[in-house]
Structure 1
Amino acid sequence: MLDCCGYNIPSELEDYIDYERYGESFKYDGIEEYSDGLIEIQ
C-alpha cells in the first residue's frame, strides 16, 4: 500500500496512477524516474 499525502492508496490501484505526470508530487521513496520518462515502482 502506498502511503502518500495522507492517503493510503491500495496496491491494486497503483498500476493506474500516472507516475510520469504525478510521481514527483507523491514524494514516495519507492518511485524512481529515469531520464527517458520511465517510472519504476519498488
Structure 2
Amino acid sequence: MKRTTITLREDQHEWVQDNHLNLSSFVQEKLDELIEERES
C-alpha cells in the first residue's frame, strides 16, 4: 500500500470530519470504479 497526500478546501475538510468519511476508502472505491469503467 502506498501513501498519497491530497489537498482539500476548508469546507470539504469540515464536511468530511462532520460526516466521519474515511477518505482512503472513499478514494480507493472511486478509483476502482473509474479503472473498471475504462477497462470495459
TM over 0.5: same fold? no
Structure ranking higher in helix proportion: 2
Question: Whose RCO is larger (CA < 8 A, sep 6+)?
Answer: 1
TM-score (norm: length of structure 2): 0.26
Q: Please, what TM-score do these two structures have when normalized by structure 1?
A: 0.26
